[in-house]
Chains A and B, each alone.
Chain A
Amino acid sequence: MITIKDLTVSYEKPQKVINGLSLSLGEDTIHGIVGLNGSGKTTLLNTLYGIKKPDAGEIRRDGSPLTKKQMSYLVTENYFYANITGREYLGLFKNQAFDEDKWNQLFLLPLDQIIDGYSTGMKKKLALLGILKQDKPIMILDEPFNGLDIETCRVIRSILLRLKEKGKTIVITSHIIETLTNLCDFIHFLENGAIKISHDKTGFNAFEREIFESIENRNMQMIDDLMK
């Protein structure tokens, strides 16, 4: 069990991006974090992975501090070092059992070409290959489906479900709620730096409706006024 307790994170004080967030993430499951732009999803993941220092609070796994050794992290921006090839990037991760070429049959990437020439979707696929090669027990994926075609989205979904069966814990963010309802065991809605509500599969439909209604109520009047 991963336990996040009273987490507070800020970039420029006193504005808190994560504000006293507490959350328990059961293992061998897929957790979705959903929220509007700027709600703190990426900050939460950066803090979970340990590349953003929290102002307060703690993150533990079975009572011990969570370490980077236990996690792999797919960042949202698809950043790669310039002028290296896809194969050279994958070569940095030590896992003899991982057959890059076999896995690449799913993604069809030109691994011997420099990454700078890849499209956004290809970069995302390469980053995912890197995550799969690292083979860590906890996988943190920030917007993994952004920029991917329908086929690759389905492939990734199937891979993630298999990984869950193999005992991996997956934390995944998206601002598209439908992506998560089709994949996750739990969805947590993040608003103003705190978890507003959490649902398991049985509550997804009501949750989705509730979210859409709240968004519509908030904005429709303004849109009507502007479009007059």
Chain B
Amino acid sequence: MIAGFLNIRIKQFIRAMSGLGLFRVVFLSGLLGFGAFVIFMLSSGEPNSYYVTGGLVLMLIILHLNRRDKAFLKTHFNAYRLLFLVEYALITFPIALVLSIHSQWIPSLLLVAATGIVTQLDYKPKQRSTNSLVQRLIPSAGFEWKAGIRRSLFYIVPIWFIGLGTSFFIGSVPLVIFILGIIPIGFYENGEPVQMILSYEKNSHQFLWLKIKLQLILYSAITLPLIGAFILFHTELWYITFIEYLVFITLHIFLILTKYTFYQPNSKSPAASIFASIGAIASIIAIFLPIVWLLSIRFYVKSVKNLNFYLDDYN
């Protein structure tokens, strides 16, 4: 069974790669190679080796909690946990090996142990029908935010208030703006039904600008009070949060354009997910930012072209 599933995974991977096209595969391979080099260098000493382990385990937990085939596997196969273990080991084993090469035995063992523990996690986040005041303030056209806020309101609100309440600490507001900037990345994962796109009754350019404008307004609404508080206490460092705000605005625009470049009704595009991950990485490793900006220009043209097929009546 395990061999059969791994065979299917390899086929899925090959199909996804051939769907991406040669140019993107080469581009992504380059990025991955660079990422692998960074991880290799980071894992050579403490405390970075622990950060690499922690980051990878966190990624694994998110992956495990969000995978959609769990119910299917549980229903049909007794050894489903073993399958999880084999799949996750394929991801973590190379890193554990790199850590061992650098004699980082404790992080390496922690990584191996965590891989086993993650397969035992069986938590399913509850879906809430929260209809808070915040939800009502978001216009219908911003359905991604309505859905996203509903999913994450229970931690956005405390984070926001902690940020505001501790804004006299120099690192507090920048950290909270960073977290609030990362959260909307998940809002644009899924492609909506075509009827929802048509309901705007706009041409492709107008549609994209409306989406960008809404994102700008909604993100500004949650971050500007925090920026205000930061400037109040740290006037001479005003530019820190301002630059951070601008970086996230450009990242969010990139996400919207990525979504509609690869948009197909009712589906989640693997290519869009990969490029969204590059956007997320760019928020941490600034060297990727120019790539994101250049891709945004390209994706604007491509998303207009893609949307023209669906919105041709309004062009």
Query: Which A residues form the contact surface with B (CB < 8 A)?
Result: 50-51, 53, 67-69, 72-73, 75, 77, 79-85, 88-89, 91-94, 112-114, 116-117, 130, 134
Contact A85 B194, CB 8 Å, known A50-B312, A68-B313, A69-B313? no
Min CB–CB distance B114 → chain A (angstroms): 29
Given contacts A80-B193, A82-B147, A84-B147, contact A114 B266 (CB under 8 A): no
Which B103-148 residues have C-beta < 8 A from chain A?
127-129, 131, 140-141, 143, 146-148
Chain A min CB distance to B139 (Å): 9
Q: Contact partner of B195 among A53, A73, A88, A112, CB < 8 A?
A: A73
Q: Judging by beta carbons under 8 Å apart, are B193 and A68 in contact?
A: no
Nearest CB in chain B to that of A74: its residue:
B195
- How far is A91 from B136 in the complex, measured between Cα atoms in Å? 12
A-contacting residues, B284-314, CB 8 Å: 309-310, 312-314
Q: Is the CB of B140 within 8 A of A51?
A: no
| A77-B265 Cα distance, complex, nearest whole Å | 12
Question: Quick one: closest B residue to A112, CB to CB?
Answer: B131
Closest to A116 in B: B127
Contacts of A72 in B (CB 8 A): 195
CA distance A75 to B201 in the complex (A): 19
* Residue B75 interfacial (CB < 8 Å): no
Cα A82 to Cα B143 with chains together (Å) = 10
Q: Does B234 contact A (CB under 8 A)?
A: no
Q: Is the interface of B mostly helix, strand, loop or mixed?
A: helix
Would you call B52 an interface residue if the criterion is a C-beta within 8 Å of the partner chain's C-beta atoms?
Answer: no
Other A-B pairs beyond A69-B313, A73-B195, A83-B150, 19, CB < 8 Å: A51-B194, A51-B265, A67-B312, A68-B312, A77-B266, A79-B265, A81-B143, A81-B147, A81-B190, A81-B192, A83-B148, A84-B143, A84-B146, A85-B129, A88-B140, A88-B146, A93-B195, A114-B128, A117-B127
How many interface residues does chain B have, given as a range? 20 to 34
Please give, as numbers and ranges, the residues of chain A lying within 8 Å of B140 by CB-CB distance. 88, 91-92
Asked if B196 is an interface residue, CB under 8 A from chain A, the answer is yes
A83 to B129: give the CA distance in the assembly, Å.
8
- Among residues of A, the one whose C-beta sits closest to the C-beta of B193 is A79
Q: Which residues of B contact A68 (CB under 8 A)?
A: 198, 310, 312-313
| Cβ–Cβ contact B193 & A81, under 8 A | yes
Flag B167-199 by CB within 8 Å of A: 1 or 0 each: 000000000000000000000001011111011
Q: Which residues of B contact A112 (CB under 8 A)?
A: 129, 131
Docked-complex contact B129 and A113, CB < 8 angstroms: yes
The docked-state distance in angstroms from the alpha carbon of A112 to that of B314 is 31
Q: Within 8 Å CB of A89, what residues of B?
A: 196
Q: When A92-B141, A92-B196, A112-B131 are in contact, do A53 and B309 touch as well, CB less than 8 Å? A: yes
Q: Which residues from B are CB-within-8-Å of A113? A: 129
Assess whether B150 is in contact with A75, with CB atoms less than 8 Å apart.
no
Report how far A73 CA is from B190 CA in the complex, Å.
20
B-chain residues with CB within 8 Å of residue A75 when the two chains form the complex? 193, 266
Chain A residues with Cβ below 8 Å from B314 are 69
A113 and B127 CA atoms in complex are apart in Å by 10
Residues of chain A lying within 8 A (CB to CB) of residue B196? 81, 89, 92
What chain B residues lie within 8 Å of A116 (beta carbons)? 127
